[in-house]
Structure 1
């Protein structure tokens, strides 16, 4: 927890507001790029978007030209680690396998990118790079020594994955739903257009209530963190089963968000369930897109800011038409699209 307390100031709601202009600028740029293609894969493109945002906001480096070169290897690294964690029998580390070779090659690509960002931050060339610079100042709470480059790199890898993969899933799912619901999409577009043509700011979120509802409902129906691991702090009984204190448990966030005893028509995409006043009677523990308690996701405010401003910025500029009525998902580690999410996009007419 000392480690978390040291990093927390970077991710308070007040502090993440400084990243808003970078988020909005990247989203505007990506929307312009998408409009030239006609049809895009929402999953691939939102991953490119969130990787660019993370690079500019926290790593002090422009990943625009390297988003695909880094994004694909990063996904392969995470998939390998996820599979290994779930395997009851593991192959010896010395045994050469195709999967292990692919993992090592992919990890080398990601590691090189992180090393370059760390070198730039040390030299002062990294514009921003707040996260990296803070790690340079931290000390290990156990040894009292400064973090090694290897330790910093491991931490940055975790932030790189968590900061782009999960928010990309939320954006892709939100755009896919809006691409199937014309009335909802027009409502988001009108809301954002009313602010004007300038880049959106953190202070604009109060004027984007329906966009916020869309993001919350997407996080309910398609929570990137589909499960969460927790240890039972005391003996507890669940559905007739005794769970002793100290037991490692898995909380099924996806199941919780789709439980008909907690939600009316849980399989229906209904952003109005998050309208003002609708959450009053809701238990704080039935909606947990970022977990809960002292181990709530440290980047929750950043993720929400990115999802809301990113979605509003894109829909303000583009009309989106989903080409598939279904959007299958899988959980190699977090909840992600099981395949391409194709959509037709075009420049939006001026919205009154």
Structure 2
């Protein structure tokens, strides 16, 4: 769900200093660029509002990002073409991607198209439908562990608790062998410092900042070292056991055996899955709970949970019957997509009727803005789960709304993530009433993902 890097030729193009002499792109330029910085001040001050204003200038517009020319695609139809119809003309890459390659290594999140075509079939068995029931058990247990740690009348930070829940669910699904339980704990505990380090390094690319003896760098390096050691230990154990423990790593380890450096390959894939799976799901969980409170739909959800679960904890076989819950989650993902900004690099001329995109051009698009296109969604800022009723949803809405990406690069864990959100919500809502303290319209925090603001709630048992 997070944007990844690109091929070497594209990277050279993006990092080239003298872009001022490049031919002008045949698309309208968004007004308001300032010398040297271009549109960066506007994007930094209010990025979500900035991208929502872009459609008024055209379906494809030219931005100035410091010394680079970047195209922004503002049309859901053209964004779909990038992901599906013309995906062979675009590769992962762009301004947000370079630091992720340096820190997360070579994995499904970060690799270019050619390498992705080789890696994806190797990783697919880890997310086969036959493995989902066991993963659902792990997710439910993680949600119960977090929810039962709360005390009646306690005020908890929902954003922190959701992160803890997602970290437990992902890392324990990744590593479940009893002898390797400590590895899952290490992976979960280090994620905050690693994520912060990656984000800060993306703001200050290059090696100089990374070498400064700053607290953020020290914490990042310390946690990366602990994570690498934990992955190395558990990989040795899994390789020696030669046994399928029903977890993700049981499929990842043998899939990486033919790599030039199998140990490094496992490390990179694990980092990609943890980074791509925890932050995004935690953010989506909090946004969904905030919207449930803001639009007062908890009553309908409680009724569905009573009808389907009858007072029991949710299980994998209940997921498909929680139809209203799924629609609530889908609508929350439309309004608050964790992956709020994506980037690509054109690998050849792209001949659209709107104009031809030259090769090695950085292209950005914002799912946050695309999902609020008034031509696609009536009253686009309104939270309305019923818009996803079978009788209401249109073919265009299904086609042009893709919260987990689309085409060959659709998130490999999309089913896992949806199951996790539904099961976690079911556990929390059947156990607790949440009284929110903060304003439901609090500001977004867009970084690599669109994180929620601090969300304190007081919990009372149902």
User: Cα 1:312–1:279, aligned 2, differ >3 Å: closer, same or farther?
Assistant: same
Once the two structures are TM-superposed, the CA of residue 83 in structure 1 deviates from its matched residue by: 3.3
Alignment of 1:160-309 (within 5 A): 160-182=274-296, 184-194=297-307, 195-232=309-346, 235-236=349-350, 242-309=356-423
How many corresponding residue pairs?
Answer: 343
Q: Secondary structure at the match of 2:433?
A: strand
Aligned partner (choices 235, 259, 272) of residue 118 of structure 1: 235
Q: Secondary structure at the match of 2:163?
A: helix
Unaligned runs of 5+ in 2: 1-116
* Mean Cα deviation higher: 270-279 or 43-52: 270-279
Once the two structures are TM-superposed, the CA of residue 318 in structure 1 deviates from its matched residue by: 1.2
Aligned partner (choices 221, 226, 233) of residue 104 of structure 1: 221
Aligned partner (choices 137, 142, 145) of residue 254 of structure 2: 137
Once the two structures are TM-superposed, the CA of residue 206 in structure 1 deviates from its matched residue by: 2.7
Aligned partner (choices 449, 452, 457) of residue 334 of structure 1: 449
* Mean Cα deviation higher: 149-158 or 196-205: 196-205
Cα distance in 2 for residues equivalent to 1:262 and 1:188: 26
Alignment of 1:5-24 (within 5 A): 5-24=121-140
Once the two structures are TM-superposed, the CA of residue 258 in structure 1 deviates from its matched residue by: 1.9
Q: Which residue of 1 aligns with 2:432?
A: 318
Cα distance in 2 for residues equivalent to 1:286 and 1:135: 32
Once the two structures are TM-superposed, the CA of residue 118 in structure 1 deviates from its matched residue by: 3.0
Tell me whether 1:73 sits opposite 2:186 in the alignment: no
User: Cα 1:214–1:288, aligned 2, differ >3 Å: closer, same or farther?
Assistant: same
Cα distance in 2 for residues equivalent to 1:347 and 1:18: 28
Q: For 1:307-329, what per-residue CA distance to the aligned partner results, in whole angstroms no more than 9, with x for missing partners?
A: 11111121111111221123332
Cα distance in 2 for residues equivalent to 1:145 and 1:112: 19
Once the two structures are TM-superposed, the CA of residue 16 in structure 1 deviates from its matched residue by: 1.8
Once the two structures are TM-superposed, the CA of residue 171 in structure 1 deviates from its matched residue by: 0.9
User: Cα 1:267–1:113, aligned 2, differ >3 Å: closer, same or farther?
Assistant: farther
Answer with 1 or 2: which has the greater Rg: 2
Cα distance in 1 for residues equivalent to 2:348 and 2:400: 20
Tell me whether 1:91 sits opposite 2:217 in the alignment: no
Once the two structures are TM-superposed, the CA of residue 29 in structure 1 deviates from its matched residue by: 3.0
* Mean Cα deviation higher: 212-221 or 12-21: 12-21
Aligned partner (choices 140, 162, 169) of residue 46 of structure 1: 162
Once the two structures are TM-superposed, the CA of residue 65 in structure 1 deviates from its matched residue by: 9.1
Once the two structures are TM-superposed, the CA of residue 237 in structure 1 deviates from its matched residue by: 6.7
8 Å Cα contact 2:288/2:332 also seen in 1: yes
8 Å Cα contact 1:228/1:252 also seen in 2: yes
Q: For 1:273-328, what per-residue CA distance to the aligned partner results, in whole angstroms no more than 9, with x for missing partners?
A: 11223223334443121111110011000000111111112111111122112333
Unaligned runs of 5+ in 1: none
- What is the TM-score normalised by the length of structure 2? 0.66
Once the two structures are TM-superposed, the CA of residue 70 in structure 1 deviates from its matched residue by: 5.1
Q: Secondary structure at the match of 2:379?
A: coil
Q: Which residue of 2 aligns with 1:25?
A: 141
Cα distance in 2 for residues equivalent to 1:317 and 1:331: 31
8 Å Cα contact 1:213/1:271 also seen in 2: yes
User: Cα 1:181–1:128, aligned 2, differ >3 Å: closer, same or farther?
Assistant: farther
Q: Secondary structure at the match of 2:208?
A: coil
* Mean Cα deviation higher: 58-67 or 264-273: 58-67
User: Cα 1:254–1:279, aligned 2, differ >3 Å: closer, same or farther?
Assistant: same
